[in-house]
Amino acid sequence: MNNSTSFVWQGRTDSEEVGDSRRWHHVVRPFDRTSQDGVALIGFAVDEGVRRNGGRPGAAEGPRALRGALANLPLLGEPALWDAGDVDGHRHSLEDAQQALASRIADVVARGCRPLVMGGGHEIAWGTFQGLARARPKCERLLIVNLDAHFDLRMAAQGNSGTPFRQIADWCQAQGRPFDYHVLGISRFANTQALFDRAAALGVRHRLDEHLQSAEQLVQAQAALAEDLARCDGVYLTICLDVLPAPLAPGVSAPAPLGLPLAHVEALVDQVMASGRVLAADLAELNPPLDEGGRTARVAARLVARIARGFAAR
Ligand SMILES: N=CN[C@@H](CCC(=O)O)C(=O)O
Ligand SMILES: [Mn+2]
Ligand SMILES: [Mn+2]
pLDDT surpassing 70 at residue 2: no
Look up the domain containing 234 and give its range.
22-312
Ligand 2 center to 119 CA (angstroms): 12
Instruction: Check residue 8 and give its pLDDT.
Output: 85
**Assigned domain for 134 exists:** yes
Task: Give the model confidence (pLDDT) of 226-256 as tens digits.
Answer: 999 999 999 999 999 999 999 999 999 999 9
Ligand 2 center to 137 CA (angstroms): 28
pLDDT surpassing 80 at residue 134: yes
**Assigned domain for 192 exists:** yes
**Assigned domain for 4 exists:** no
Counted domains in the chain = 1
Task: Give the model confidence (pLDDT) of 289-306 as tens digits.
Answer: 999 999 999 999 999 999
Tell me what the pLDDT averaged over the chain comes to: 96
pLDDT classification of 7: cutoffs 50, 70, 90: low
**Assigned domain for 266 exists:** yes
Instruction: Check residue 4 and give its pLDDT.
Output: 54
Instruction: Check residue 6 and give its pLDDT.
Output: 57
- Minimal-distance CA residue to ligand 1 atom 11: 162
pLDDT classification of 140: cutoffs 50, 70, 90: confident
**Residues, Cβ < 5 Å to ion ligand 2:** 148-150, 240, 242
pLDDT mean over 285-291: 98
pLDDT surpassing 80 at residue 63: yes
**Assigned domain for 226 exists:** yes
pLDDT mean over 125-149: 96
Instruction: Check residue 313 and give its pLDDT.
Output: 77
What is each CA distance from 111 to 44, 71, 83, 261, 278, in whole angstroms? Answer: 20, 24, 13, 36, 16
Q: How far apart are CA 132 and CA 146, in angstroms?
A: 16
**Assigned domain for 65 exists:** yes
Q: Binding site for Mn(2+): residue ranges? A: 122, 148, 150, 152, 240, 242
Q: Which long-range contacts (CB under 8 A, 24 or more apart) does 218-225 make?
A: 218/264, 218/267, 218/268, 221/184, 221/268, 222/267, 222/268, 222/271, 224/182, 225/145, 225/182, 225/184, 225/268, 225/271, 225/272
What does the DSSP 8-state code read for residue 241? Answer: G
Ligand 1 center to 150 CA (angstroms): 6
User: What is the edge-to-edge ordering of all strands in the sheet holding 114-119?
Assistant: 29-30, 81-88, 39-45, 114-119, 278-284, 234-240, 142-147, 180-186, 205-208
pLDDT surpassing 70 at residue 314: no
pLDDT classification of 3: cutoffs 50, 70, 90: very low
Domain of 139, CATH number, reads 3.40.800.10
Task: Give the model confidence (pLDDT) of 204-217 as tens digits.
Answer: 999 999 999 999 99
Q: Which residues line ligand 1 (CB under 6 A)?
A: 53, 55, 122, 150, 152, 154, 161-162, 253-254
Q: What are phi and psi of 154, to 5 degrees?
A: -65, 150
pLDDT surpassing 60 at residue 128: yes
Ligand 1 nearest atom to the CA of residue 191, by list position: 12
Ligand 1: residue of 154, 253, 286, 290 to mutate (most ligand atoms within 8 A of CB) is 253
| DSSP-based three-state secondary structure for 110 | helix
Instruction: Check residue 149 and give its pLDDT.
Output: 98
Kindly state the greatest CA–CA separation across the chain: 60
